[in-house]
Amino acid sequence: MAQKKTANAQKPKSHQKTPPKSAQVKKQTQKQKSSMTWLIPVAVVVVAAIIGAIFLLNQNAPASASKLPANMSISEASQRFADGAYLLDVRTVTEWNEHHIDGAVLIPLDELSARISEVPIDQDVLIICRSGNRSVDARNILRAAGLARTTSINGGINAWIGAGLPVVTGP
């Protein structure tokens, strides 16, 4: 006679029924959802902190630290230079020796990329060349390097001399 199995008898693991796949997927999805619930608030806090820091940094920056116009007239440039702006001459040494503005700093355009660290970041930088073309290139190089307070002087030293503004000769 066959013995009746009792309800308490355990089946070997190989014979136990496994839950259907849909139930397993639901459990995994619930675990993923519960582990992701903390991620959204953390992301919101991080984004808010970054935005707040940017706002505070911009608020504390002096008004003169704003970006200069791309180009500037001779009259405005001469006034800013008289007020203490940094004047960068990007012509060649030969051109510089012919005539230059007293107090300007010579960094030829072909050396500028290697000498960017010599250009101040805490001053307005007025850039001059012979006619205004190389100074545009120099301004673009400096702005690409993060120096927003740069501008090209329209007409270059030719316009400066034409306006009757002072220049010196020699090294």
Helix 39-60 / helix 21-36 crossing angle, nearest 10 deg: 30
Helix (H, G, I), strand (E, B) or coil at 153: strand
Pairing of strands 125-128, 105-106: unpaired
Q: Is 73 left (phi over 0), alpha (psi -120 to 50) or beta?
A: beta
* Interatomic CA distance for residues 34 and 75, integer angstroms: 66
Report DSSP letters for 86-136, one per residue.
Answer: EEEE-S-HHHHHH-B-TT-EE--HHHHGGGGGGS-SSS-EEEE-SSSHHHH
Does an H or E element contain 27, and which? helix 21-36
Whether 101 sits among the annotated catalytic residues: the reply is: no
Catalytic residue among 129, 142, 157, 159: 129
C-alpha distances out from residue 55 to 5, 58, 142, Å: 75, 5, 25
Which residues are tagged catalytic?
129
